[in-house]
Amino acid sequence: MPADPEQKAREEVREAQARYERERDKAREARSRAFAKAQQILTQRQIAEEAGLHHTTVGEIIRGE
């Protein structure tokens, strides 16, 4: 007997949300590492200009805030 369509839809939503959160966290960590590495050569303002962000946002990203 096939699974209940509503239950299947609920499972798909939960799986999609979990996948999104995992990928988002990985991307956030990668961005923080890249910004920190770039800061060895560039200023926060230069990094911000390249990323299209405000320089204080770049500082928060680097600090993990």
Name the pTM for this structure: 0.74
pLDDT at residue 50, rounded to an integer: 94
pLDDT at residue 36, rounded to an integer: 94
* Average pLDDT for runs of 10 along the chain of length 65: 79 92 92 94 94 95 90
CB count within 10 Å of CB 18 equals 10
CB-based contact 54:48 (threshold 8 Å): yes
pLDDT at residue 9, rounded to an integer: 86
Q: What DSSP string describes 1-61?
A: -PPPHHHHHHHHHHHHHHHHHHHHHHHHHHHHHHHHHHTTTS-HHHHHHHHTS-HHHHHHH
pLDDT at residue 63, rounded to an integer: 92
Query: How far is the C-alpha of 1 from the C-alpha of 11, rounded, in Å?
Result: 17
